[in-house]
Structure 1
Amino acid sequence: MNIKTVMVIGAGQMGSGIAQVNAMSGYQVYLHDLKDELVERGLNTITKNLDRQVKKERMTETEKTDTLARITPSTDLNNAKNVDLVIEAAIENMEIKSKLFSDLDELAPEHAILATNTSSLPITEIAAATNRPEKVIGMHFMNPVPVMKLVEVIRGLATTDEVYNTIEDMSKSLNKVPVEVNDFPGFVSNRILLPMINEAIYAVYEGVAKPEAIDEVMKLGMNHPMGPLTLADFIGLDTCLYIMETLHDGLGDDKYRPCPLLRKYVKAGWLGKKSGRGFYQYS
């Protein structure tokens, strides 16, 4: 299957990054969101990222211009009629994703693959909203997308080998490293990462140490580039809570129970860097 045109749904941090790497790799890209201002914000983020690459002499001004020319802004889902692949990077909500995939199934060409960038939700359940479950697959990019090499490629129950191989090859064309993962809550990355973050939050909750000390131990003792509590603030504590709840519900094991302190911070609106306060304060 030959992929030439991609629609990225969601122009936020993840979606804009996914659109950027696709456009840099020569694909025609629709960057889609619900409102013009959201798409414009995503395009501004991409432009700033590319400007930085030009300043560092990793890209020429012409390459930057050509990359931006390959991105078409979209607020009309009917543009899905023109694509070979959709990569959905919308909010982590099963009801919203199911409705979106049902609509895409009606609009996208018969040959088109429908991929989701979900970080924890079941691919098989998302695929069940369509009449083409064999063409639904997970493409879980890491944040920040232009920098991080990994893509978890997640098969749903019905995903065919042909579709998997197409997405594996396409991921490599984006200069990413695809890793095959089966459809379990949290996949590999978040099934391992989020319980570690949750345990770090328990260590704060129980008074084992202060956040700064916990992060220092993991950086200096375990050679992590960033402490788990700093990382949680960057991910967003609301997102961390949502993924922990997905793990807890999906696997039914109390070891995935979200720490009460995490719930308290989210209820207080302390969501991390994006709200100005989480385990640390941000100006």
Structure 2
Amino acid sequence: MIRDKSAKTPAKDAPNKDAAKKAAPAKAGKAPATKVSAGKKGIIAVASPTFRRERALIKRGVWPVAGCDEAGRGPLAGPVVAAAVILDPDRIPRGIDDSKRLTAEERERLFDKICATAQVSVAVASPSRIDRDNILRASLWALKRAVVALPEAPRHVFVDGRDRLDTPCDCEAVIGGDGIVLSIAAASIVAKVTRDRLMCALAQDCPGYGFEQHKGYGVPEHLDALNRLGPTVHHRRFFAPVAAARAKHMPWTVEPVQDLFGVTEVQVEASVEVDAGANL
């Protein structure tokens, strides 16, 4: 009797049962949802922000809890927009993520859902305030204003970044918070959508700059427009490309810089005699 040994030998392409078990997804509720993106060297799993930190505070009796974030630190034109959000634990919209990971359509859809289910406030720091205070101080000012403007005063605030806010309640800074804390992610969506809409409105008043496309960032098209047309009142005066365009198109607005190392001639009257033997 001849036995077919191939019946017991798994095919080379057959999946390994042990490997399949290890690769099986974890049960719902035990791990945060992840987004998978394919790279050149393999697959990269990016964890989505969670409501874990907010729930931990709720269990301790701390509520409301707000998240806040800003949009528009880097652009050459337009305001910085800050948003603060208190999510309703029982009505959290699905799909909230760091605004940078979402498409414009996804942000718009989630913006409407967040505003319909959560407490939301927005504050704007104008280009003139940015010129006066610098971009960091203007951003922190707008973030604080957004927190204070919430319909209900929060007892704890999560803010994206390194700097805590001077708020009446506890404030916790979370580096990369828009990808970690769900409330901050929601605020990042509100801030981003609000600022994008403002820049589209400015584009109608300032044609030729392409604000509706690049939203004020220093892309080549924007730099070319600055070089051709010069800066507008919506540009940030002391950002380097804007300052260069201002010097070219409006040199009378550029204050001369004093040369601290220049040689100043001192005239001495000829009638003054110096006693070489005097003690100086």
TM-score band, normalised by the shorter chain? under 0.3
Q: Tell me which structure has the larger Cα radius of gyration.
A: 2
Please give the TM-score of this superposition, normalised by the length of structure 1: 0.27
Name the one with the larger helix percent: 1
Q: Which has the higher contact order (CA 8 A, sep 6+)?
A: 2
Please give the TM-score of this superposition, normalised by the length of structure 2: 0.27
